[in-house]
Amino acid sequence: MIMKNLIIFFLVVAMVYACDNNKEPDEETIVEIKDESPAQRDSTLITDTSWGLITKTTDIVALKKIYGRANVKDESICGPECADTIKVTTLFRNTPKQIIVYWEDSAYHKRVMMAEASIDGSPYHTADGIKVGSKLSDLLKVNGKRIVFNGFGWDYGGIVTSFNDGKLGNSSLNIHLDLVEHTGQNELYGDRELHTDMPLVKQNLDKIIISTLTKAFLNH
């Protein structure tokens, strides 16, 4: 049934593209995807299975139809520790609406692996209000249990490593934290484990924010 649905989806996209291949979508136009789920009609809502109008099976042709060709650009970015480069597709580059799309198949752009936002003012959010710029104190309220993350100031700094079976424990979200100001407290920096029960972290809950929000598209 899944394969049949995928075949139907790609046939529909191909037919629409063939009928409209001489017309450039307006840069600010977002084409609504017909879907029974309300989340699919909200271009800024992140759910368990979607990032706005993007799902795991959204391909490069669909991205261009949804967001406009001028807003969809392929590029290479630096991987972890800049040991290599990663081919991605960027939507609305260098604007608050920017989304970086990572592909399972970077050559063909058929299946989305991850979507990511990291620009200040990014509108993408979960139903609980989690978004780029959210404070660690807000994240802690949503999760309901201790949050563990790496110390700041290095390549893997600020990455949340555990939600300790809280509400976000089974989430497909990967969260990268950062300090909005340098506190001068060296205990918050370096290759070390920090958590929200630590007195020093508690003092800085409102100074630590989400700097990057990434959704992994799992095999639902």
Q: What pTM value is reported for the model?
A: 0.78
Tell me, what's the pLDDT at 184?
Answer: 74
How far is residue 180's CA from residue 140's CA, in Å, rounded to a whole number? 17
Burial class (CB in 10 A: 0-12, 13-18, 19+), 86: middle
The DSSP call for residue 92 is: S
Which amino acid is residue 50, in one-letter code?
S
Q: With respect to residue 94, please indicate whether it lies within any of the assigned structural domains.
A: no
pLDDT at 77: 86
Average of per-residue pLDDT values in the chain:
83
Number of independent structural domains in the chain: 1
What is the pLDDT, as a whole number, of residue 39? 40
Q: How many CA atoms lie within 13 A of 76 on its CB side?
A: 6
| Confidence at residue 4, expressed as pLDDT on a 0 to 100 scale | 37
Contact 122, 97 (CB under 8 A): yes
Strand partners, 193: 150
User: Is 101 inside any structural domain?
Assistant: no
Alpha-carbon distance of 52 to 56, in angstroms, equals 12
pLDDT for 3 beyond 90: no
pLDDT(149) > 90: yes
pLDDT tens, position by position, 80-132: 667 778 899 999 999 999 999 999 988 889 999 999 999 999 999 999 999 99
* Structural domain contains residue 21: no
- The answer as to whether 8 is a domain residue is no
Q: Which two tokens stand for residue 148?
A: 């563990």
**Quick check: is 120 in a domain?**
no
Q: For residue 27, is pLDDT > 60?
A: no
pLDDT at 182: 76
Confidence (pLDDT) at 80: 66
Q: How far is CA 82 from the centre of its chain?
A: 20
- Structural domain contains residue 197: yes
The boundaries of the domain holding residue 198 are 126-216
CA distance linking residue 210 with residue 57, whole number of Å: 27
Interatomic CA distance for residues 72 and 74, integer angstroms:
7
Contact of 65 with 34, CB cutoff 8 Å: no
Is residue 205 one of the residues assigned to a domain? yes
Chain-centroid distance, C-alpha 128: 15
Within-domain flag for 198: yes
pLDDT in tens, 135-144: 999 999 999 9
Rg of the chain in Å (alpha carbons): 19
The confidence score (pLDDT) of residue 17 equals 36
Q: Can you give the pLDDT at residue 31? A: 42
